[in-house]
Structure 1
Amino acid sequence: MKGLCDDGMLVEANHLLYSMFWRISQKGSGEDIVIYRILLDALCDDGKVEEALEILGKVLRKGLKAPKSIRRRLDLKKCRDGEDTEATKRLIHEALVRGGVPSMGSYSAMAIDLYNEGRVDEGDKVLDEMRKRGSSHHCQCTKQRQKL
């Protein structure tokens, strides 16, 4: 996914995501949350915020199987203007974390990926959300953060 997005092949990346939904619906998302984030960030960077939000909605429904009550609480109205791309991406990242079914794999993958990109504050927020939801397995993420 990263290679397709880095090369600007967003249509192909989008097709890859949709082809993954079947497998994800059978086995859950886990670490695949990072793949969603990569595509959604690339779409935002390309000025396609509406498309990113549409895909986010599908990911939350199909890929992450977030309960409707959680999906309703996500306020992404601020993203619609597309003026502040970084703020929009942060809101999307929060929606992926909060809208997902809690799992050690998804939290760890998201936090480590954000730390690797130097987005320490966002990685810390993922760890905070993990702690709030009762997952005490954050050793790998903490080690990755300490490397920074």
Structure 2
Amino acid sequence: MARHTYPCPLRWADMDAFGHVNNVVYLRYLEEARVDFIWRLAPGGGSDAFTGGVVVARHEISYLRPLVHRHAPVTIELWVSKIGAAYVTLDYEVKDEDAVYARASTTIVPYDLERGRPRRLTSEEEGFLAKYQENEPSGRDEQPEGAMAV
């Protein structure tokens, strides 16, 4: 299946006192990749898919290696690991050609703005998401560099 690839620029302000990307900044990187992915289907071609937006129900991140500032963007690969009637789980790898810096997962829920509540996925949305679905584990349980298994 296909993966969505997003080249994410690193900003100087993303760094923390230790000289690497702060853990909280990774959530923004994932959001940028997720929005870029979702809006590939939504407005533009007359589709009303995801027009109410989505809300995040859950995040999980495994930090594997420090990512330091550089001028080249980091690559975020995104794919769908699970599609439910009213939710989608997306998996990610934050990486470049030399290393995987983090693996993550986000569960999102489509939202109905007019009613102010979550809603079910439409068949158009499910069809789009299915093109990116992989059923293999993302490897989020991998130990960070230098970590000891207990």
Same-fold status (TM-score > 0.5): no
TM-score (norm 2): 0.32
Which protein has greater RCO, CA pairs closer than 8 Å, 6+ apart? 2
Structure (1/2) with the larger helix percentage: 1
Structure (1/2) with the larger strand percentage: 2
Please say which structure displays the higher CA radius of gyration.
2
TM-score (norm 1): 0.32
